[in-house]
Amino acid sequence: MLRISDFHAKLGRQISHRSRQLLALALNPRCVLCQLAMTGNESAKHRYSLCSTCISQLQRCQNNCRRCALPLPMDHIDSATICGECQKQQSPIEQIIALGWYQSHLRHLIQQFKYQGQLAAGRALSGAWLHHCQIDKLPQALIPVPSHRRKIRQRGFNPAALLAGDFGDQLSLPVDLKACVRLHPGTSQMGKDKTERWRQVQHMYRVLRCDYDHVAIVDDVVTTQATATTIAKQLKEHRVCRVDVWCIGRTP
């Protein structure tokens, strides 16, 4: 028969073991992508729940056009270069700043955040963007691509608004949630071609007001630029001088 004193001693050891486990998790959080425990050095260095191995496996947007963020030809690489397509047509967007190509691990993380409600993945993505992306000039405000209220009720949040909130907190920038609204719920753009995407967004968004000279539109993924361009055009009609786009993933 287990004596009371022995029971208390055993319980104390169990609590102590559990406390050490909790402390270890707090000091060494797990990577949101591979689920392996991160080292203390990784936690201190990155602070956004992605281990060094997984960060190195993200396909970062490099050697890309400053304006549209698409890859440049290998013989036409310059940090300030604009691709031939962007030179031929006038765009209301000054530049797109993207963390990486919407492929493989980055795509998996974005889908975890957007479709499975994994908010930790969203924080990891915004943290990685802030750590790796270079901003030549800060905007006066951030405008997240709005979700329709029906979609927010279904999902529980607007992914672009959460990303913008993280950016705003870290960079001390206001997030304007009322500048632009989504008029219609529409249908998912996943799997649609460029023509279908452009047709769908033409009358989907409306900028109600904007009193800034320089803003950044925030979205999780840029594919055809249809959404960002539609909103940027309306912002320019409200006398905004410069419109940037900040996104996590860019479809190559």
Taking a C-beta distance cutoff of 8 angstroms, is the pair 186, 128 a contact? no
CATH number of 60-250: 3.40.50
Mean pLDDT of the chain: 85
pLDDT value of position 98: 97
Confidence of residue 185 (pLDDT cuts 50, 70, 90): confident
The reported pLDDT for the residue numbered 252 is 87
Query: 169-184, pLDDT tens digit by residue?
Result: 999 999 999 999 999 8
Cβ atoms < 10 Å from Cβ of 206: 13
The tens digit of pLDDT for each residue in 29-86 reads 788 889 888 776 655 555 578 888 888 888 888 888 999 999 988 766 555 688 989 9
Q: What is the pTM of this model?
A: 0.83
Question: Does residue 97 come out as left (phi exceeding 0), alpha (psi in the -120 to 50 range) or beta?
Answer: beta
**Tell me: the pLDDT tens digits for 118-151?**
998 999 999 999 999 999 999 999 999 999 999 8
Displacement of CA 8 from its chain's centroid (Å): 49
Distance, in Å, from the CA atom of 106 to the CA atom of 57, rounded to the nearest integer, reads: 9
Q: Cβ–Cβ contacts within 10 Å for residue 4, how many?
A: 7
Q: Are 243 and 218 in contact (CB under 8 A)?
A: no
